[in-house]
Structure 1
Amino acid sequence: MINNLNYYNVFYTVAKTGSISRAANQLYISQPAVSKAISNLEESIGIALFVRNSRGVALTEEGTILYDYIERALDNIVKGEDSLKKYNELGIGHIRIGVSTSLCKHILLDYLKPFIKDNPNIKVSIDCHSTKNTIRLLKNEEIDIGLICETELPKNITYSHVRSIHDIFVANSDYIDNFPYRETEAGLEAGEETADTQPEAASYPVISGSIIGNLIPLMNVPQSVSDSEVLTEDHIRDIFRHSTLMMLEEANVTRTHVDNYLNEHSFHCNQLLEINNMDLLLDFAAIGMGIASVVREFSESYLKNGRIVEIPLPTPIPKRSVGFAYLQNRHQSKALCTFLDYCNIS
């Protein structure tokens, strides 16, 4: 059938004009070439398609049946070409984006809202997955682009940095105030009771409400912290050991990054609560269920209104990069190119 495509075009033109000569003029080929094409098509399908008459040629009954199908097929081709022209002229397209719920809520939306407003003819589909699953979908070409936390990527995937994020530990202030403590050196100098008079409180570091107020400024409120106010690694180690630590599930890239930090500093917990949603981690921390591992940039509203406070670490967790990832060697649709340009991604 594929080999007959040119013959079908000749057949359609001859049938429409009813004349070999007029068909030859329209197709800009010779009359013998037209006659040869019709002869080859009839030979290929084994059926006579035309009969000669005084005015030229006419379709046989079988030729009329074939003509109806060829006419619809060529009409669809014309409609397809028109659709492509409109697609190009109006900027019509479709982008499939893979992203985690947290990155979608706190980063992607900042790009999507103005992009959709400026490009109303581009359809956007959001596929919410972890960074690892987003990379898998990208490799399988099931999505066009992914917003991910930077991690090891296959060679054919390009990564473009968008924003840095910072992992922190947070808790409700009441949870911290009720944490068992050992008197600090400053407390002894103030005349407070010693560990000898309160043996049950002698095993934990102090993180009282008054100290936490000095140690943990709310977001966007700069405050100097003196060396004497900074908790030591031993303090943090004890805090984690005697607290419920709430984190994302193990397979998550964020969890791996924080786990590496905890192991490097020998911070361990006896009770771990795993959750697959960072918003829930914030909610659980806000009601005093334990200490949560979250991203500072995603926790801003909770920190500003005092629902949670940040636990100061002697050594901050290394910052991470968030960016867009897409296949390097794959043909990029005009819609995707428009999105990349809009986000200033080269």
Structure 2
Amino acid sequence: MDTTLSLYRIFYTVAQCGSISAAARHLYISQPAISKSISNLENELQTHLFERTSRGVSLTEEGQLLFHHVSDAFHSLEAGEAELSRIRDMGLGHLTIGVSTTLCRYRLLPYLKTFIAQYPHISINISCQSTNHTLDMLRDGSIDLGLVAKPEDTGHISFVSQGRIEDVFVCTPNYLNNLQMRTQVSGLDLLNAGTLMLLDKANASRQFIDYFLEENHIHASNLIEITTMDLLIEFARTGLGIACVIRDFVADDLKSGLLVEIPTPQAIHPREIVFAWKKGRSSHRFLNAFIDFVS
């Protein structure tokens, strides 16, 4: 279809007004220009669209058929414009965020409460999965934003830092005292002698810790694997063993003495947490708003 939309707009207006002069006033176009446009459209479609009458113009049978379809088209366009206006005026939109369960609870939720208060009409979808899965979804465009530990390869993403997290080994004072009495060991040797509790191997944090353990020749004789950080912390509080957790998430427990830290000669290297998004998605209005908010 080579006919321009403006010709159909003129045709539509003339048919509604029933008069070329009235359509000219409505569109702020001269009457000769209106007549010329109708003639061009009729030539393009190779059909006669209007009959002149003493009171103006009326549609031919072919013109009535075309008007029916053009009306539907313009009604759809008007509905689309109205919807866009409503989205703009009310701040309607959506944002999909990928995040691990741990970071969702401890890092993302505090942001969301304030952000949603500023943008009450935005729809936010949270996709909870591993960091590796979140990065895959960022690559293929399935999500708008991810909260992850900063990957080594950042070629495909842009990001804004949210600070660092540090892993520590903790347990209850009673568990530590009993383990030391039973084994007469300290430091990293406690990890070999006691029950070590870690996140499961699908978790990016576990992969990071496995490297630390291998580097320090730690091969726990008793190992419990747990799916979430929340459960891992609860298991530690219950006194079931030594858990590797993120220091910030047990800060109150360490301060109160409910948990104690197992000192290690070599500290576990801290990891940087970032909000990441795929390069080239900067045109997303609410993604930009959220990035500005967390920066």
TM-score range relative to shorter protein = 0.7 to 0.9
What secondary structure is seen at the aligned counterpart in 1 of 2:67? helix
Tell which structure's C-alpha radius of gyration is larger: 1
Superposed counterparts of 1:22-101, under 5 Å? 22-23=22-23, 26=27, 28=29, 30-43=33-46, 48-101=48-101
Residue 146 of structure 1 is matched in structure 2 by 146
Could you say if the C-alpha distance between residues 159 and 331 of structure 1 is closer, same or farther in structure 2, counting changes exceeding 3 Å?
closer
What secondary structure is seen at the aligned counterpart in 2 of 1:81? helix
Could you say if the C-alpha distance between residues 64 and 301 of structure 1 is closer, same or farther in structure 2, counting changes exceeding 3 Å?
farther
Identity %: 39
Please give the alpha-carbon distance, in whole angstroms, between the structure 2 residues aligned to 1:66 and 1:161: 57
Residue 13 of structure 1 is matched in structure 2 by 13
Higher mean Cα deviation, 161-170 or 23-32? 23-32
Runs of 4 or more, structure 1, over 6 Å off, are none
Equivalent residue letter for 2:277: Y
Which of the residues 260, 279, 287 maps onto 1:309? 260
Residue 268 of structure 1 is matched in structure 2 by 219
Equivalent residue letter for 1:246: M
Q: Are the counterparts in 2 of residues 145 and 324 from structure 1 also a CA contact under 8 Å?
A: yes
Please give the alpha-carbon distance, in whole angstroms, between the structure 1 residues aligned to 2:90 and 2:284: 14
Aligned length: 292
Deviation at 1:130, TM superposition (A): 1.4
Equivalent residue letter for 1:169: F
Superposed counterparts of 1:1-346, under 5 Å? 1=1, 3=3, 5-20=5-20, 22-23=22-23, 26=27, 28=29, 30-43=33-46, 48-179=48-179, 181=181, 204-206=183-185, 231=186, 235-237=187-189, 239-344=190-295
Q: Deviations over 1:143-174 (max 9, x none)?
A: 11111111123413012111211101112223
Q: Are the counterparts in 1 of residues 191 and 218 from structure 2 also a CA contact under 8 Å?
A: yes
Deviation at 1:111, TM superposition (A): 1.4
Equivalent residue letter for 1:283: E
Please give the alpha-carbon distance, in whole angstroms, between the structure 2 residues aligned to 1:143 and 1:27: 46
Equivalent residue letter for 1:40: N
Q: Deviations over 1:23-81 (max 9, x none)?
A: 456263624532333313533xxx65433333332123453343233223213322322
Please give the alpha-carbon distance, in whole angstroms, between the structure 1 residues aligned to 2:136 and 2:2: 36
Q: Are the counterparts in 2 of residues 7 and 41 from structure 1 also a CA contact under 8 Å?
A: no
Equivalent residue letter for 2:188: I
Q: Are the counterparts in 2 of residues 282 and 294 from structure 1 also a CA contact under 8 Å?
A: yes
Please give the alpha-carbon distance, in whole angstroms, between the structure 2 residues aligned to 1:76 and 1:39: 24
Q: Are the counterparts in 2 of residues 146 and 325 from structure 1 also a CA contact under 8 Å?
A: yes
Please give the alpha-carbon distance, in whole angstroms, between the structure 2 residues aligned to 1:329 and 1:305: 47
**Where do 5+ consecutive residues of structure 2 fail to align?**
none
Q: Are the counterparts in 1 of residues 11 and 38 from structure 2 also a CA contact under 8 Å?
A: no
Please give the alpha-carbon distance, in whole angstroms, between the structure 2 residues aligned to 1:162 and 1:309: 26
Equivalent residue letter for 1:243: G
Q: Are the counterparts in 2 of residues 10 and 37 from structure 1 also a CA contact under 8 Å?
A: no
Please give the alpha-carbon distance, in whole angstroms, between the structure 2 residues aligned to 1:159 and 1:90: 28
Q: Deviations over 1:199-229 (max 9, x none)?
A: xx6xx334xxxxxxxxxxxxxxxxxxxxxxx
What secondary structure is seen at the aligned counterpart in 2 of 1:28? coil
What secondary structure is seen at the aligned counterpart in 1 of 2:179? coil
What secondary structure is seen at the aligned counterpart in 2 of 1:178? helix
Q: Are the counterparts in 2 of residues 166 and 320 from structure 1 also a CA contact under 8 Å?
A: yes
**Where do 5+ consecutive residues of structure 1 fail to align?**
182-200, 207-230
Equivalent residue letter for 1:172: T
Equivalent residue letter for 2:166: H
What secondary structure is seen at the aligned counterpart in 1 of 2:275? strand
TM norm structure 2? 0.88
